[in-house]
Structure 1
Amino acid sequence: MRKCLLVTCLCVLLLGLRNFWLTGFSFDSNQPMHVTILMWHRPFSVPNDLSGDACGDHHSTLFCTIVEQRSLFPTADVVVFHNYELVTGREKLPLDLPRPPGQRWAWLSLESPVHNGDLRRFAGIFNLTINYRRDADITTPYGERLVNEAEGEDPVQDITQNKSFLACWVVSNYRSSYRRSQVYKELSTIVPVKVYGRWTKTLLTAEALLPTISRCYFYLAFENSEAKEYITEKLWKNAYLSGAVPVVLGAPVQDYEALAPPHSFIHVDQFASVKELAEYLLQVAGDKKRYSEYFRWKRKWKVKVSNNWKERLCKLCSHYEHLPPNKVHTDLAAWVHGTGTM
């Protein structure tokens, strides 16, 4: 009798130890949970360093693992699909596989609406959107402004010391039908614009990009699409990190005002004509005090550029516990194109 009781107790103890191990050493629901995110395919075939606990150092509320092994599909909590590969036919959704209960599928794209293809086929499939827009389930912008807590030298001192060109532009995808091309064409007839990139066959290496732009008073941070909150590295990296004042074209003025540091940019739509814009640029470049005012934001703000996929997926980790459990995007295309909500 005692022997049977001892064996029973031992079995219960071993079972408890097993559950203790599988649940992440958790005795109660307040302890960290484990979340597995499966990246179904690599965006643009760019290699990702997703080894180990990719987000564990940043998000202590849970253990978050990002994996690429498709064999882990049955146990993944979230499966992420990058839109470009889906709409171009390079990859397909695993609709033939039994979808585990509670598993979320996430649609990921940082492209502007006109470059996302036909999304009507995805109606009712995805639970989450990962996008640069603030109304996405997981917002992953190209860059963001943060409070600058560092104290140091005045960031606007000697800001014109190294300037030798009025304006410059780096462009590879030049199409005459784009509005940015039309603005550039008219602007360049009034003021000098130094152009780099594949279009003019004057490519800049990654190392030379920012130092080259830093020699310009203004940088034409013109987007290839005009869409809600579509503000890319042209502003966050090329202009801000180089030290040139961005002249922007793309999202509406109010989006730049909401997202970018105050008085840090010049929007094309703030002028009645390109001629007025050109005259303003000449006036500001010729007045060191007025020009330096476009850098005073650095006393309070700094910018952070997001440029790797692991960082974006880690945002999914940090928001996981607060996501609605039963959400389904019934009309993804309407949301992307701004004709509906989700």
Structure 2
Amino acid sequence: MRPGKDKTPCKSAARLSFLMRFRITFFHRRARVVYAGLLSLTFLTLFYFGISVNHSENTDPIYIYTATTYFGQNFSEYDFPDRCPELKRPCIRTDNPQKYSKVSAVIFHSVDFKWTSDLPGPRNLNIPFIFYSLESPSNDAMRMPYAFLNWTMHYKRNSDVWNPYGRLVRLRSVNPWAEKDPKLEAVWIGSNCDTLNRRLEYIQLLQKLGLKISDRILQCDGLENRYSDCMKTVTSVYKFYIAFENSNCPDYVTEKFFETLQRGLIPIVVKRQYYEDLGIPSDIFIAVDDFKTPEELVRYVKRIAADEQAYNRYFEWRNRYRVVTHLEPDPETGWCALCQKLQKGPPYPKTEDKPDIRQWATTPRTFQNTKPPYSQMPVQEFDTIDYLGALVVGVIFSICCFLFTIFVNFFWITKYDNITVFERLGSKYNMRLGPHRVKEVQRTIYLEETEDCDRLSLKQALKALFFLLVIGAETNRIARNKPYYRYYFSKMAVPDYFLDKAFVEVRQENIDEFFAVRGVPWLIRKLIVGKMKNGRFHLTKHGDKYHIAVGDPGKNLEYDFTLGEKIRATGYDGKEHEITFSCEGGRFIEKHLNLSRPEVGEDVTYYEFRDGTLYSECTATKESKSVTWKREFKQK
């Protein structure tokens, strides 16, 4: 083959090789450009949405208005994120009336509740009114108006915001027995001697049976100094702490138990079940109801106090838990939990009805609301209250409470676990401890084991009497003068999410069936159905008055009204109606009574705002047939 003829295939091969390298390089470069573009686009997208989220995130403070004092002292204004870092918004307690319009919740401390106190402004149904207490019902009459409160912040586990005195999480391991004084056994500090369960007398009995309880600590003036460093130092050298509560109530476990654990003492309690129900390990405390007699209890305590290994076994829980009291930040309970719940904003999920706070606090079952909340009833209904009758009933009830308390304190024959029985014989009291009898005992000595949550102490019974007298006097004043911003007679307010928004109907169901049940003839029904499309709803507020515009393009209806007041105006059918507007449970309610056909009954329409949409329902019932007319509105 000639050399000249070999050049063409070589050139073609070289040219093909070059083109292949060029295309591969080109496509690689283009791929890199595409990849770079995608990365840039991803970065810009994330950056944009990140900025958007940051800009749209609500950082306004959450204000909790304290409407009462706390044991006679003002709640301190405190910025909770300093203690609750998981919060995204500042959470501040305040009693400044100028901030009332901005608050997210209103707190009422039960012990300091004054029925005649004023609120700085009208009640907003978006804002929960919260019952706050750490006292047991036997020491707190819970003088709250019926159906006045929305949430509870309490030591009970079924509270809307659980607020215990403490709980257990992880703790370090130590040798507590080596830190104790061998001459000292038990200590008790009490702030209330006059208790229904007679804890002081039982403690004195334990002393007589040989348990070493410090005489200089056994007194009832320790309330002011119980949290001092000196008191912590004094008590920490003892081995046991008498942690008897002033009331025997489920879930009522106060700071004395949790502080005892923090200080390295073994708590001695009344009833084991109360503590185990809270998830507290059963091997970290001693319970009175585990022993048949007080003598058995004393012998066991003395044996544990003398045995280092047995004593230290009560502290093995420190390898697994630590104590968090109600004075420390805890995201799952107390104020931090309340702030987390409020930062989501209204509307809040519906909670269990608690119209009677005292019955809720003293009853383990769920108490259902059977009456409309007073705070959501029309104002006129309060003007007809028989205040004289309420006063008489209150006085009679208080006298009965007083006599009942006297009976409980002095004349009850009480059993304690079928072991300790007290009998009234002549002018003296005899005390039986198991099979033995101690004679010549001049007064009752017992530890009441039964629950006393539903019983009032004498002090609280007198408070209840005074409260009912105030109710009678204040009801008299309100019957003569129109109610304004009293707690009990708070005016209703329409939730903000109904106001100043123009809604247009987008869907409806069962309109023809609804008017058929109402007895409307077929031809008129068809005319109504044809007209009542593309309805509207627009509600505004002007001072204490409201203005509503409802209807459809063919018929426009406008009303000026005050919540709860009856007005007379033209209805959908062109007839004169008696119309009432009100609020209940976050719903706006419209009632129509056709005055030409009152026997038909009222048409009641319920408006509810959910997820940016307005829904309405109106039910008609005739004999056994019931039909609900449903409508759906969207904001313009």
Fold match (TM-score > 0.5): yes
Correspondence for 1:130? 153
| Matched letter for residue 180 of structure 1 | R
In the alignment, which residue of structure 2 is the partner of 1:18?
none
1:298 corresponds in structure 2 to: 318
- The residue number in structure 1 matching 2:206 is 187
Distance 1:168 1:189 in 2: 15
Give the counterpart of 1:216 among 238, 242, 251.
Answer: 238
Contact 2:84–2:336 under 8 Å retained in 1: no
Could you say what secondary structure the match of 1:78 adopts?
A: strand
- 1:210-232 Cα distance to aligned partner (Å, 9 max, x none): 22112212110111111111111
TM-fit CA distance, 1:184: 1.0
Matched with 1:234 is 256
- SS of equivalent to 2:129: strand
Structure 2 residues not aligned, in runs of 5+:
1-52, 368-636
Residue 17 of structure 1 is matched in structure 2 by none
Counterpart amino acid of 2:192?
A: N
Bigger radius of gyration: 2
1:100 to 124, 129, 143: 124
Matching residue within 185, 189, 199 for 1:170: 189
What secondary structure sits across from 1:211 in the alignment? helix
Offset at residue 286 of structure 1 (A)? 1.7
Question: Which of structure 1's runs of 4+ aligned residues deviate more than 4 A?
Answer: 31-34, 51-57, 200-205, 308-311, 325-328
Letter in structure 1 aligned against 2:93: I
Residue of structure 2 equivalent to 1:282:
302
Higher relative contact order (CA 8 A, sep 6+): 1
Cα contact 2:166–2:254 (8 A) shared by 1: yes
Q: Which residue of structure 2 aligns with residue 19 of structure 1?
A: none
Ranges in structure 1 where 5+ consecutive residues have no aligned partner: 1-23
1:122-180: per-residue Cα shift (whole Å, max 9, x none)? 221111001112111111111110134x6xxx412653543431212112422386331
Q: Deviation of residue 201 (structure 1)?
A: 9.0
Whose strand fraction is larger, Structure 1's or Structure 2's?
2
DSSP-derived class of the 1:106 partner: strand
Deviates more, 1:186-195 or 1:47-56: 47-56
- Amino acid in structure 1 at the alignment position of 2:358: A
Displacement of 1:37 in angstroms is 1.5
| % same residue | 23
- Could you tell me whether the CA contact under 8 Å between 1:163 and 1:214 is conserved in 2? no
1:73 to 88, 97, 100: 100
Q: Which amino acid in 2 is paired with 1:155?
A: V
Q: State the shift of 1:209 in Å.
A: 1.2
- Give the superposition deviation at 1:302: 1.0
Is contact 1:210–1:241 with CA below 8 Å preserved after alignment?
Answer: no
1:269 to 275, 289, 295: 289
SS in 2 for 1:170: coil
Paired with 2:88 and 2:281, the residues of 1 have a C-alpha distance of 31
Corresponding residue number in structure 1 for 2:268: 247
Q: Could you tell me how far 1:292 is from its partner in structure 2?
A: 0.9
C-alpha contact (below 8 Å) 1:262/1:297 kept by paired residues:
no
- 49-58 vs 127-136, greater mean Cα deviation: 49-58
Give 1:294 shift.
Answer: 0.6
312, 324, 334: which one pairs with 2:349? 324
TM-score (structure 2 length as normaliser): 0.44
Q: TM-score scaled by structure 1?
A: 0.78
CA deviations 1:260-318 (Å, max 9, x no partner) are: 34411101111111111111111111211111111111111111122379994332102
> 3-state DSSP class of the match of 1:234?
helix
Question: What is the alpha-carbon distance in structure 2 between the residues aligned to residue 326 and residue 227 of structure 1?
Answer: 23
Number of residue pairs aligned between Structure 1 and Structure 2: 306
Taking a change above 3 Å as real, the CA distance of residues 297 and 103 of structure 1, as seen in their structure-2 partners, is same
CA deviation profile, 1:54-93 (whole Å, cap 9, x unmatched): 568523344433322123223322101111111xx48736
Secondary structure of 2:313's partner? Answer: helix
Counterpart amino acid of residue 65 in structure 1: I
Partner of 1:334: 359
Further displaced range: 108-117 or 42-51: 42-51
Report if the CA contact (8 A) 2:149-2:354 is conserved. Answer: yes
The 1:81/1:194 distance shift into structure 2, 3 A limit, reads same
User: Compared with structure 1, are the counterparts of its residues 317 and 55 closer, same or farther at alpha carbon in structure 2 (3 Å cutoff)?
Assistant: farther
Contact 2:107 2:130 in 1 (8 A): yes
Aligned-CA RMSD value: 3.2
Q: Which amino acid aligns with 1:68?
A: D
